[in-house]
Structure 1
Amino acid sequence: MLQRLRPYNTLRNQIFIGFVFVMIIMVAVAGSMVYEKASALLKNSAERHIQQTAVQASGRMDALIGQIESLMSQASNQSTVQNLLLDEANGKPVTFNQRQSLLQVLSTYQSYLPGVGSFELYTADYQLMFPIRDGSLTMRMSQSAIRQANLAKGRVVWIGVDPQDNQSLLAVKRISLLDRWFSNGGYLVARMQRSYFQLSDPAQPAGRETILLANDEGVQLGGKGQGADLSELLAAGQTVQYEGEEQVIVRQYSEKTRWTLIVLTPVRYATEGITALRTAMFVSGAIGTLLFLIMSFLLSTLITRPIMKLIRAMRKSRLGQLTPNPDKTSMMELRELNHSYNSMVAHIDELIRVVYEKELLQSRTELKALQAQINPHFLFNTLEAFNWALEDRGETELAGFVVTMSRLFRYNIGRPGAAGLEEWVTLREECEHVERYMQIMEMRLGDRLEWEIAMETDTGSIPVPKLMIQPIVENAILHGVEGRIGRGRIAIEVKAAECSGWTRITVTDNGSGMDEPALRALQDSLNGGPAHAAKGTGVGLVNVQQRLKLYYGRSSREGMESGLQVESAPGKGTKVWFEIPNDGGAYL
């Protein structure tokens, strides 16, 4: 994947992408701020318009109600009506002709408002006086409505839907007798057509807004449709679903009639300005982005063209043609870079000569240091002398420690003059060496270290290169036990692998483990990358990995070469294992 992306990972592309990224952020931030502010303004404007529509509709309804109340007041105070009701209150019977005379009086008032369907006049004892037929007020409306009319003391009380005609609305007014100390003389009932309460503004486009009128029970009194249940609209929030469309709702309550005016406006009308604003911003942003892309490409090309010429000159130098770059540029930074490169080319031959001489001197120094190393026999004789001295003094524990160290050194130094066979031992000998190393570590760490070596009997005679397990164990102690609070545990297991003819060696610790980046870095170093530098991390493992490749590189199993495998997780410790052929691989 990285090889595929490398041709595109150029300075020009990085500059271009950087400019585009910054531009997108700026446009997004500025656009979002402008859009938010403009959307808020448009939304507030739409809300004010809807509220103004509701106020205007409420005003029109109050005007219609005022006209009816004024007309009913005039009719109730008309002299003929007052005289007839006064005679009735005084116990004087009202003749048929007198009742018939009310037709002309009330018809005159009815003609003033086309929406008034009829007037009905009742006496104080609820008997129907006009029109001329049998009936009573208690049959026309409920006792609750009559009590409201009495409590209103001459004010008009709006009843609602006419029980006898659902296309009409009723209003009742108690008539006070002017010549009888404003006592109750009777009741005037007005019946209005529902079509009278058409509250829509004729100046608004059709379908833009819907205005409905409902009573406290949610029964529709006016507007589009008749008799519908509007209780859900009365209890809804700011938006509702009405006639299959989401709409903004505004409610105006009338204390006079105890009716609620409902104004519904489709959300699409309220937000049509926001939609247009969004479209304009997207178009302008797209045009601005296109222009910025073109300018960014031209600018990045102008900057990187001299750099590409310098890169071609450096490639020639890498192939052995140490020639300066004659290209001139007007940019000060690139001109200084080109001058530095030409100076480097002028001094490179001298640097090569100096480095070569230093390499020769270093080789001579390392040879002298090798010749000055301590004779192994002198080291062993000295450790034996320590052992005898400690035995004489009764320090048997320390004497055993010296013997263990002597055997450890002897194992590490090997058998000189064995023509390379000193590099090979059996797995049993290798595990014994690991056991001696763990004994020394146990004396140093005390109770902090707990260890175990488990080896199957059949695997003890298998040949293996010397010091293949001990570096792994040492790495587990350094990074598993020493970095752990409390007792650490290391387990070495040697057993037959799942594949016949192979043996698996596993080293497990219960240390803090490695996170994903650290484990990936270790695996990279095992695959040929640079080893860790901190506290020798991974250096011993890399050495083991290289020796496995050297000795068993040609011994394959299912197409896979032998090598170290590592599993680790934070807080769960680390597990390292490798598998070797039982026949010794390249050794045999």
Structure 2
Amino acid sequence: MYRLKQMNTLRNQIFLGFMLVMLIVLGCVGFFTYGQVSVLLRNNAEKHIQQTAVQAAGKLDVLLRQVDTFTAQVATSATIQRLMAQEAEGEKTTFAERQSMLQEIRKHEAYTTGIRSLELYTTDYRMLFPLTDVSLNSRVPQEWINEADAGMGRLVWLGLDPRNPDVVIAIRNVRLIDHSFSYAGYLMVQVEKNYFEFSVEGESADNGSGEMMGLFDGAGKLVTSDFPEGADVEGMLHSGAKTIELNGSTYMPIQKRSEATGWRIIILTPVNYAAEGISVLRTVVVVSVIIGGGLFLVMTFILSTMITRPILNLIKVMRGAKLGTLKPISVPSSAMEINELNNTYNQMVDSLNELIEVVYQKEIVQSRTELKALQAQINPHFLFNTLEAFYWALEEKGEEELAEIVVAMSGLFRYVIAKTDGDEWVTVGDELDHAERYLKIMDMRMVDRLSWSIEADEECRGAPVPKLLVQPLVENAILHGVEQRLGRGTVLLRATPSDRPGYTRIEVTDNGPGMDDEKLLALRCSLEKGLNSRSEGGNGVGLANVQKRLMLYVPGGEGLTVHSSEGQGTTVSFEIPNAHKGEVES
């Protein structure tokens, strides 16, 4: 500990303070630079990925347009149009005519790739080509046929063949050109799945990005991809994650939707590739912070030495005055700051000498004040002695009722005026006795208008309570309850165990006129805000004062609780713990 105190010098404080500030500045600048440049690098990588996705979508659209063009040529060829018109008019095509379709279709297939087969169906789903007896509704789901009808002659891409997962099916309605484009049947094309096996390897092989691509149909089924086997990429994307994990690597997914088919292209790019260059940036920032911190360390050491050396010299000079009488000193210095310290020290010596004189005078004044306070205690004793004399005089004359009132007044004044150390807390029994004396006096004053009773469990009478906390509630019940009604009024004071373990409940109830909801709400608001709600006579302590004392002496408590109904009287209560620490939290 002594060694630590020796190190706690001004020089070390300046040195450490400057170093801390510099490290904070360098750290903030490095963090800001790293964050901004990282975002820039990441945005550039994302732009590259988006461009790749656009290129892939463009390739897909080209492939789809090729198939669309091929099927349109087949559907509008003269032979197909003639035979389909013949079927539409109810004339069945012959076997030879159906065979002639083969030559026509083969002629068009010679200019395309990826087509496995074509199938022609009539409006009643009978197959015209090839020469089999398979119906369209047994070949594909009815929902696909409905989608083709909704396409109105447009080629509709439906997805993988339910019978052959290596084939993608598309259907279009055949429209008769010479018959006002009337509906004549269906043309179904089966495209090899590997026809769509395009990827971004050509673009990414040079930079080793490790990107992967997948094609999904409108139903979300995978058409083709170079994803790892068993990877549920579609499910991962539906989870809403911004990144996905595959084979221990983290990828960023990018989706692109084809406007022609509604199919989606999903490209997975490794996060390491997207964040390429960030690690280099991190190293540069760390090295810069270390070098800058080292340079500032040397400069701070030199500067702190220059600042503290004159001060150390001044300390050595001032130590000579530490053991003797305070006297002004004169330590010349070439530095303006050190001279200012000398002047300040001399002024401090003069001020200390003046303060010593002031303290001496204050001690004399304090002694005189204590003497006056001792003399002032004679007045309460004189009052108590006078009341005692009244009591004995009334006893001799047989005025027992008045004598009891005098005794009550004497006890009341003694309880209020008496002041000894540590009497801020009393017991509930003391407070109830004090309230009883007050009620006796008020009973005499109000003649036959007041009736009262006090109910208290013996186990509650020993609970601690701040002094003079109950009597203001009784006073409030008489002033605002009993005196505000016609006829005899009642005040009931209770001290009972609370439903809350370890607490005593004290409540004061009167059968006065009570309050309506508006007045009750206003009273509760004033208690919450700490407003000083005094009695009508202007001499009462007020409920707000009691509330403040409760909040002060019982922190965390609920304070006063007021219940009242118009014409039914009012009840004011509070709860206090059965034990306290004897301290007031400020």
Shared fold by TM > 0.5?
yes
**Counterpart residue number, 2:158:** 159
State yes or no: 1:241 paired with 2:240.
Answer: no
In 2, the alpha carbon distance for the partners of 1:84 and 1:311 equals: 117
**Counterpart residue number, 1:64:** 63
Q: How does 1:278-289 map to 2 (within 5 A)?
A: 278-289=282-293
In 2, the alpha carbon distance for the partners of 1:299 and 1:397 equals: 85
State yes or no: 1:270 paired with 2:274.
Answer: yes
In 1, the alpha carbon distance for the partners of 2:71 and 2:332 equals: 103
CA contact (8 A) 2:41 2:278 kept: yes
Gap change, CA 1:160 and 1:229, over 3 Å in 2: farther
What letter corresponds to residue 260 of structure 1 in structure 2? R
**Counterpart residue number, 2:219:** 217
Q: Secondary structure at the match of 1:222?
A: strand
CA contact (8 A) 1:238 1:249 kept: no
Gap change, CA 1:355 and 1:148, over 3 Å in 2: closer
TM-aligned CA deviation for residue 128 of structure 1: 3.0
**Of 291, 298, 305, the match for 1:301:** 305
Gap change, CA 1:229 and 1:27, over 3 Å in 2: closer
Gap change, CA 1:441 and 1:19, over 3 Å in 2: farther
In 1, the alpha carbon distance for the partners of 2:281 and 2:426 equals: 74
CA contact (8 A) 2:244 2:253 kept: no
Structure number, greater radius of gyration: 1
Q: Secondary structure at the match of 1:154?
A: coil
Q: Secondary structure at the match of 1:173?
A: strand
What letter corresponds to residue 204 of structure 1 in structure 2? S
TM-aligned CA deviation for residue 154 of structure 1: 1.8
The superposition leaves residues 381-431 of structure 1 with CA deviations (integer Å, 9 ceiling, x where unpaired) of xx9xx99xx98x8964999xxxxxxxxxxxxxxxxxxxxxxxxxxxxxxxx
TM-aligned CA deviation for residue 216 of structure 1: 3.8
State yes or no: 1:183 paired with 2:157.
Answer: no
- Aligned identity (percent) is 36
In 1, the alpha carbon distance for the partners of 2:68 and 2:124 equals: 23
TM-aligned CA deviation for residue 16 of structure 1: 1.2
TM-aligned CA deviation for residue 145 of structure 1: 1.8
What letter corresponds to residue 215 of structure 1 in structure 2? D
The superposition leaves residues 283-340 of structure 1 with CA deviations (integer Å, 9 ceiling, x where unpaired) of 3222222221221111101111222233233345557899999997653212554688
Q: How many residues are aligned here?
A: 410
Gap change, CA 1:451 and 1:261, over 3 Å in 2: closer
In 1, the alpha carbon distance for the partners of 2:355 and 2:214 equals: 97
TM-aligned CA deviation for residue 445 of structure 1: 4.5
TM-aligned CA deviation for residue 214 of structure 1: 1.7
TM-aligned CA deviation for residue 166 of structure 1: 0.4
Q: Which runs of 5+ in 1 are unaligned?
A: 374-378, 400-438, 453-479, 488-509, 516-566, 573-588
**Of 439, 444, 457, the match for 2:418:** 444
**TM-score w.r.t. length of structure 2:** 0.56
State yes or no: 1:203 paired with 2:203.
Answer: yes
The superposition leaves residues 503-527 of structure 1 with CA deviations (integer Å, 9 ceiling, x where unpaired) of xxxxxxx996899xxxxxxxxxxxx
Gap change, CA 1:80 and 1:514, over 3 Å in 2: closer
Q: Secondary structure at the match of 2:149?
A: helix
Gap change, CA 1:10 and 1:443, over 3 Å in 2: same
What letter corresponds to residue 265 of structure 1 in structure 2? T
In 1, the alpha carbon distance for the partners of 2:260 and 2:126 equals: 27
Q: How does 1:414-493 map to 2 (within 5 A)?
A: 443-445=417-419
The superposition leaves residues 209-264 of structure 1 with CA deviations (integer Å, 9 ceiling, x where unpaired) of 33222234321112225897655245332514242444333333334323233233
In 1, the alpha carbon distance for the partners of 2:102 and 2:262 equals: 31
In 2, the alpha carbon distance for the partners of 1:179 and 1:318 equals: 122
TM-aligned CA deviation for residue 131 of structure 1: 3.1
**Counterpart residue number, 1:95:** 95
Q: Secondary structure at the match of 1:258?
A: coil
CA RMSD of aligned residues (A): 5.1
Gap change, CA 1:277 and 1:83, over 3 Å in 2: same
In 2, the alpha carbon distance for the partners of 1:52 and 1:45 equals: 11
In 1, the alpha carbon distance for the partners of 2:230 and 2:127 equals: 28
CA contact (8 A) 2:209 2:270 kept: no
**Counterpart residue number, 1:421:** none
**Counterpart residue number, 2:517:** none
What letter corresponds to residue 155 of structure 1 in structure 2? R
**TM-score w.r.t. length of structure 1:** 0.56
Q: Which runs of 5+ in 2 are unaligned?
A: 393-412, 428-464, 472-549, 556-580
